[in-house]
A and B are shown apart, each in its own frame.
Chain A
Amino acid sequence: MEVKVLMPQMGESVTEAVVAKWLVKVGDFVKRDQPILEISTDKVDSEVPSPADGQVKEILVKEGQTVPVKTLIAIIVSGENASESKTDDASKQDSQVHSSESHNNKQFLSPIVKELVKEHGLSEDDIRQIRGTGSGGRVTKTDVLKYVQSKERENAISGGGSKLDEPQLRQSDTSWSSKPFNEAEISPQVAKQLVDNEFTVTPMDIMRRTIAEHMVRSKSTSPHVYSIVEVDCSQIVRFRQKVKDEFSKREGYSLSFTPFFLEAAVKGVLEFPILNCSVDGSNIIYKKHIHLGVAVAIGNTGLIVPVIKRAEEKSFLGLARALNILAEKARSKKLSPEEVAGGTFTVTNPGVFGTLIGTPIINQPQVAILCLGAITKRPAVVDDDKIAIRDLCYLTLSYDHRVIDGSVSGQFLSFVKKYIETWDINRNIFV
């Protein structure tokens, strides 16, 4: 029996996804639930498990290709059919050849599209790179013309050379078509420099594009204001030193400073609920629960913000565990759409990369984001006007001045500062 593998819908608003990587190839035997491919959407990256035991008969979407959700991306033959072909290598090979042919045939090209393909000398690869907007993802005349247009533009830029990875560039172009950034226009100056080999052009991946879009939207939505405090972290440094071994032993991962700030932030938000709202026209929507987003870097190419749901209900240990699980999932691209949705307040920690002071952009539709700078040893004036070496860090609150004023942000930061600086060195976090 043939089992269809369809592009999953990773969240209700998600309409398309990229096949990031195939983990299997045609002819491979797969177990039910075994990951067979990695996909990437603007919200999450994820592995797709096989829907059945069987043999991969056809792979219909290439790596790097964006397709609408529910698109047929692979066919797995389960049951007797699969075992039959297993016993017969020759027929297996035949079926592979056949399947690759039928794959080509499946991509229906209308007469005018074929004509345009011929006229513009497009390759099969080209065609695969074009994102179809017709029925069932069919490539339409308009799609081809857009593609050709972008190709021509690009040829003009590269002086007609083929140094650029054309299909990829075009793919990004076409798949942007419905987004505000769709005009990947390159300025004449840039074009000239490109010709002079002064730089190369790399298309953004879907995550990059999404981040870019969100950042611009946030800046144009919220008037950002930044307040900064310096926090003496000596207490939590000492506390962490004291409990970290036992923590590692008990929890199986090491204790970072982030949970301390998460807890402090949650308490602070509870104190100043305006930080946990969103703006809807002229209304302020207060959120019941604190769903705490924590930005996690994905290598050097992007970041994702998994959400700790109902953070106000979690203990220190609960926050630490949630953080660990989500960060791990984020890095291994296993986050579910629900796990990145619904944040009400975000904490970001560029300090881990050495940043002293950050001024982050608010994660819409939230109204504030707390930024943790690096904890560094610095001289500080302490009690009795003495100068001492302390573990210091800067906390920044970026907030939306539409709804939050300097007084609230100052009070919130002071609250957090006090919370960290007065950490009880004898606290039992394992209770």
Chain B
Amino acid sequence: MHLNLEVLEKIYSISWLARYFDEKSEILYKQNKCHFQIGCKGHEIIGAIASQIFEVGLDWFFPYYREHALVLGLGMSPEDFARNLLSKDSDPNSHGRQMPMHWGSRKLNIISQSSPTGSQFLPAVGLALGLKKEKSKSVVYVSSGEGACCQGDFHEALNWAAKDGLPIIFVIHNNRWAISVGFEELWCKSSISEISKAYCLSKSENGFNIESLFQTFHEARNYAANNQEPVLIEIFVPRLCSHSISDDQTKYRSHQEIEQDKEKDPLLALERVLLSKNVNVEGIKSKVKAVVDGAVLAVEQEENPDVKEIFIGSLTFDQAFRADESNAVGETVTMVDALNQCLKESMQADEKIIVFGEDVAHGKGGVFGVTRNLTDMFGIHRCFNSPLAESSIVGVAIGLALIGFKPVVEIQFGDYIWPAMNQIRNELAVISYRSKGDFTAPVVIRVPVGGYIRGAFYHSQNIEATFSHFPGLITVMPSNAGDAYGMLYSALNTRNPVLFLEHKGLYRSPYARSSIKKVVPLGKASVVKEGKNVTAISYGYTLHKCLYCAKKVEEEKGISVEVIDLRTLYPLDETTIFESVKKTSRVLIVHEDNLFMGYGAEISAKIAENCFHFLDAPIKRVGGLDVPGICQAPDLEKAILPSEDKIYNALMEVINF
């Protein structure tokens, strides 16, 4: 594309549209019609130019919150923009669910964005990876301020993008202020491109140099698309406003500096060019201003989001929940073999399934062997090793899932999932809801968890209570091979993200051996042993201990114990629990994780709230000790985790009340 006068005028027009909307949002904020405002003044030129280079409908965008001009330039209508400011249901960005300036548009391939700085990089890399796998001509545009480049995710993203040669352009708006912190306070080098050049082709530009910036964008997009390599463009622009409506930059910036910045406004440079060509800039500005005012006026009376629709975009109760449970058939197998078999059969049937994680590929096939032979069978493009970085694993999986892949990623141990917490909590579990279902990321994260294996502090953790707390995420934990197969099958066939917990102690345990069930629906607990006097609720490894104690109590005391295997921890199958409790009136809840705020607390509360009138004894819980970690020495481990003795005694306590 050539930067002719028409394009210049368009860039100018888009820039002022953005700036007037920026100013309008401040007014609306003060009128209590808009509930947040974050400015773009000084940054408009970047998005305005980029929007003329990148291809709408082909390329993908992860724009950060100062990209008013980009989204407008890509084609977001002034009315939609106004809807965003006014948190209307018809707002394509988030349907009134996120703060304004958190972009997203299915139509424009703008991926729904969140607030945590830097968390967009890895999903962007994942999406680029997907484009490359599909041999697409598209590229990914991901932007942020220079402050967000401090995040580890930024560096992980550059590394992965560079190592795999992905068509992605990192666009860094460097206004030299991360809210109130100056560039020199944060960085070891004088620019971001100096740092990123170790990873990929990097270039710094000045927003003032319109032509050069245009050219750079043009070349970068072509380079990324044609060479299948990442590029980083850093653009120096002034921040002509405070960080946001909640900030006052005069508290940390000198008056002199603020005034000097005004001189560096790229729109002044552009205006000078246009004036030199006798363009009626004031006419453009007044026209644009009228568009902004008119758009706001036009949509102000539109419907606000309906509270009745508050659950739309949260979990979808699709076929994976409604399917009938298959009968167990064939020889008994170990849980590890059941999972491996399910992955093989599913990958055979669905080529969108891809597996990655640490050590999952080649002959190793995962540290527990769950992904064994997948690379041999399906090739390295379908089962490959990821960098040793959990945030990368989940973030990239999200990006892949956004464009139709079904990533099944492995976090090597539950203990190491925490670096991925931001990607899981703020992106994976939320993206569908924050876009009212416009975007979904049906990732399956497989995680070996649990103790009883002398795994000590960092090979024993139980993580289900933490992750079951995130309502956008399904959490499951099978206790036997048959369920493991059937539930992984369902996890692969739902449009919701699934955290698939696998207990290391059950992988090859004879207790967990069983025949394969081809389909086990999500969200359905299993009554593994019927009884009438007391209900024992558990899942995973401790389920087997519960069963042992239940049988012992039955043999010794003639008391009939019903044992429920929850299997899916979120969403919880309350019906099965309540029915059982209403029958027996006595409940014991057992889990391996420590007790305080543990998973059992929720079950206990649910029962208390819903079955109070049916209870004949206090609800009893058995869990691990409330100590910060599970110690290695066998005696210590034994004392920390629930033993059969503890469970048996608790069961008798409930029975004897």
Q: Which residues of A contact B23 (CB under 8 A)?
A: none
Bitwise interface map of B from 608 to 633 toward A, beta carbon under 8 Å scored 1, else 0: 00001111110000000000000000
- Which A278-324 residues have a C-beta within 8 angstroms of B? none
The reply to whether B614 and A112 form a contact with Cβ atoms under 8 Å apart is yes
Q: Which residues of A contact B614 (CB under 8 A)?
A: 111-112, 115
Of A111, A134, A140, the most chain B CB neighbours within 10 A belong to A111
Q: Which residues of B contact A135 (CB under 8 A)?
A: 656-657
Nearest chain A CB to B618 CB, angstrom units: 9
Nearest chain B CB to A144 CB, angstrom units: 9
Q: Which residues of B contact A141 (CB under 8 A)?
A: 585, 616
The reply to whether B613 and A115 form a contact with Cβ atoms under 8 Å apart is yes
Q: Which residues of B contact A114 (CB under 8 A)?
A: 613
The reply to whether A110 and B616 form a contact with Cβ atoms under 8 Å apart is yes
Rounded to whole angstroms, the CA-CA distance of A112 and B607 in the bound complex is 13
Given A112-B585, A135-B656, A135-B657: A140 touches B613 (CB 8 Å cut-off): no
Question: Who on chain A is nearest to B586 by CB?
Answer: A141
Q: Is A113 an interface residue (CB 8 A)?
A: yes
The reply to whether B616 and A112 form a contact with Cβ atoms under 8 Å apart is yes
Q: Is A138 an interface residue (CB 8 A)?
A: yes
A-B contact count (CB 8 A): 29
Nearest chain B CB to A143 CB, angstrom units: 10
Rounded to whole angstroms, the CA-CA distance of A110 and B585 in the bound complex is 10
Q: Which residues of A contact B615 (CB under 8 A)?
A: 110-112
Rounded to whole angstroms, the CA-CA distance of A140 and B585 in the bound complex is 10
Rounded to whole angstroms, the CA-CA distance of A105 and B615 in the bound complex is 18
Bitwise interface map of A from 100 to 127 toward B, beta carbon under 8 Å scored 1, else 0: 0000000000111111000000000000
The reply to whether A111 and B657 form a contact with Cβ atoms under 8 Å apart is no
* Main secondary structure on B side of the interface with A: loop
Question: Who on chain B is nearest to A114 by CB?
Answer: B613
Question: Who on chain B is nearest to A135 by CB?
Answer: B657
Nearest chain A CB to B532 CB, angstrom units: 10
Question: Who on chain B is nearest to A141 by CB?
Answer: B616
* Main secondary structure on A side of the interface with B: helix
Rounded to whole angstroms, the CA-CA distance of A274 and B449 in the bound complex is 73
Rounded to whole angstroms, the CA-CA distance of A138 and B615 in the bound complex is 14
Q: Which residues of A contact B613 (CB under 8 A)?
A: 111-112, 114-115
Nearest chain B CB to A343 CB, angstrom units: 36
Rounded to whole angstroms, the CA-CA distance of A275 and B612 in the bound complex is 62
The reply to whether B585 and A138 form a contact with Cβ atoms under 8 Å apart is no
The reply to whether B612 and A111 form a contact with Cβ atoms under 8 Å apart is yes
Rounded to whole angstroms, the CA-CA distance of A141 and B611 in the bound complex is 14
Interface size counted on chain B using CB atoms at 8 A: 9
Rounded to whole angstroms, the CA-CA distance of A114 and B616 in the bound complex is 9
Rounded to whole angstroms, the CA-CA distance of A113 and B617 in the bound complex is 10
Question: Who on chain B is nearest to A134 by CB?
Answer: B657
Rounded to whole angstroms, the CA-CA distance of A114 and B585 in the bound complex is 13
Interface size counted on chain A using CB atoms at 8 A: 11
Q: Which residues of A contact B657 (CB under 8 A)?
A: 134-135, 138, 140
Rounded to whole angstroms, the CA-CA distance of A278 and B613 in the bound complex is 54
Rounded to whole angstroms, the CA-CA distance of A141 and B612 in the bound complex is 13
Rounded to whole angstroms, the CA-CA distance of A113 and B657 in the bound complex is 13
Rounded to whole angstroms, the CA-CA distance of A418 and B613 in the bound complex is 75
Q: Which residues of B contact A115 (CB under 8 A)?
A: 613-614
Question: Who on chain B is nearest to A115 by CB?
Answer: B613
Q: Which residues of B contact A111 (CB under 8 A)?
A: 612-616
Q: Which residues of B contact A138 (CB under 8 A)?
A: 657
Question: Who on chain B is nearest to A133 by CB?
Answer: B656
Nearest chain A CB to B654 CB, angstrom units: 10
Rounded to whole angstroms, the CA-CA distance of A115 and B611 in the bound complex is 11
- Which A246-261 residues have a C-beta within 8 angstroms of B? none
Q: Which residues of A contact B656 (CB under 8 A)?
A: 134-135
Rounded to whole angstroms, the CA-CA distance of A110 and B614 in the bound complex is 9
Nearest chain B CB to A249 CB, angstrom units: 61
Of B613, B616, B617, the most chain A CB neighbours within 10 A belong to B616
Nearest chain B CB to A119 CB, angstrom units: 10
Question: Who on chain A is nearest to B653 by CB?
Answer: A135
Rounded to whole angstroms, the CA-CA distance of A114 and B656 in the bound complex is 19
Question: Who on chain A is nearest to B657 by CB?
Answer: A135
Rounded to whole angstroms, the CA-CA distance of A431 and B656 in the bound complex is 61
Rounded to whole angstroms, the CA-CA distance of A254 and B88 in the bound complex is 108
Question: Who on chain A is nearest to B582 by CB?
Answer: A112
Of A110, A113, A134, A140, the most chain B CB neighbours within 10 A belong to A110
Bitwise interface map of A from 127 to 150 toward B, beta carbon under 8 Å scored 1, else 0: 000000011001011000000000
Rounded to whole angstroms, the CA-CA distance of A141 and B617 in the bound complex is 9
Rounded to whole angstroms, the CA-CA distance of A111 and B615 in the bound complex is 6
Q: Which residues of A contact B616 (CB under 8 A)?
A: 110-113, 134, 140-141
Q: Which residues of B contact A113 (CB under 8 A)?
A: 616
Rounded to whole angstroms, the CA-CA distance of A114 and B615 in the bound complex is 10
Q: Which residues of B contact A110 (CB under 8 A)?
A: 585, 615-617
Nearest chain B CB to A24 CB, angstrom units: 33
Nearest chain B CB to A280 CB, angstrom units: 28
Nearest chain A CB to B610 CB, angstrom units: 12
Question: Who on chain B is nearest to A136 by CB?
Answer: B657
Bitwise interface map of B from 642 to 657 toward A, beta carbon under 8 Å scored 1, else 0: 0000000000000011
Bitwise interface map of A from 201 to 214 toward B, beta carbon under 8 Å scored 1, else 0: 00000000000000
Nearest chain B CB to A217 CB, angstrom units: 24
Rounded to whole angstroms, the CA-CA distance of A110 and B657 in the bound complex is 10
Rounded to whole angstroms, the CA-CA distance of A135 and B617 in the bound complex is 10
Nearest chain A CB to B582 CB, angstrom units: 9
Question: Who on chain A is nearest to B614 by CB?
Answer: A112
Nearest chain B CB to A142 CB, angstrom units: 8
Question: Who on chain B is nearest to A143 by CB?
Answer: B616
Q: Which residues of B contact A112 (CB under 8 A)?
A: 585, 613-616
Question: Who on chain B is nearest to A109 by CB?
Answer: B616
Question: Who on chain A is nearest to B617 by CB?
Answer: A110
- Which B528-585 residues have a C-beta within 8 angstroms of A? 585
Question: Who on chain A is nearest to B618 by CB?
Answer: A110
Nearest chain B CB to A223 CB, angstrom units: 34
Nearest chain B CB to A333 CB, angstrom units: 34
Nearest chain B CB to A100 CB, angstrom units: 26
Rounded to whole angstroms, the CA-CA distance of A111 and B610 in the bound complex is 12
Q: Which residues of B contact A134 (CB under 8 A)?
A: 616-617, 656-657
Question: Who on chain B is nearest to A139 by CB?
Answer: B616
Rounded to whole angstroms, the CA-CA distance of A424 and B657 in the bound complex is 67
Bitwise interface map of B from 581 to 616 toward A, beta carbon under 8 Å scored 1, else 0: 000010000000000000000000000000011111
Question: Who on chain B is nearest to A113 by CB?
Answer: B616
Rounded to whole angstroms, the CA-CA distance of A110 and B611 in the bound complex is 12
Nearest chain B CB to A416 CB, angstrom units: 51
Nearest chain B CB to A158 CB, angstrom units: 30
Q: Which residues of B contact A140 (CB under 8 A)?
A: 616, 657
Of A113, A114, A135, A141, the most chain B CB neighbours within 10 A belong to A141
Rounded to whole angstroms, the CA-CA distance of A115 and B613 in the bound complex is 6
Q: Which residues of A contact B612 (CB under 8 A)?
A: 111
Nearest chain A CB to B28 CB, angstrom units: 53
Q: Which residues of A contact B585 (CB under 8 A)?
A: 110, 112, 141
Bitwise interface map of A from 364 to 396 toward B, beta carbon under 8 Å scored 1, else 0: 000000000000000000000000000000000
Rounded to whole angstroms, the CA-CA distance of A176 and B656 in the bound complex is 19
Rounded to whole angstroms, the CA-CA distance of A111 and B585 in the bound complex is 9
Rounded to whole angstroms, the CA-CA distance of A112 and B657 in the bound complex is 13
Known: A115-B613, A134-B656. 8 other contacts (CB 8 A): A110-B615, A111-B612, A111-B616, A112-B585, A134-B657, A138-B657, A141-B585, A141-B616
Binding site for A on B (CB under 8 A): 585, 612-617, 656-657
7 cross-chain pairs, A with B, having the tightest CB-CB distances, nearest first: A141-B616, A112-B616, A115-B613, A110-B616, A112-B585, A111-B613, A111-B615
28 sample A-B contacts, Cβ–Cβ < 8 Å, listed by A number: A110-B585, A110-B615, A110-B616, A110-B617, A111-B612, A111-B613, A111-B614, A111-B615, A111-B616, A112-B585, A112-B614, A112-B615, A112-B616, A113-B616, A114-B613, A115-B613, A115-B614, A134-B616, A134-B617, A134-B656, A134-B657, A135-B656, A135-B657, A138-B657, A140-B616, A140-B657, A141-B585, A141-B616
Binding site for B on A (CB under 8 A): 110-115, 134-135, 138, 140-141
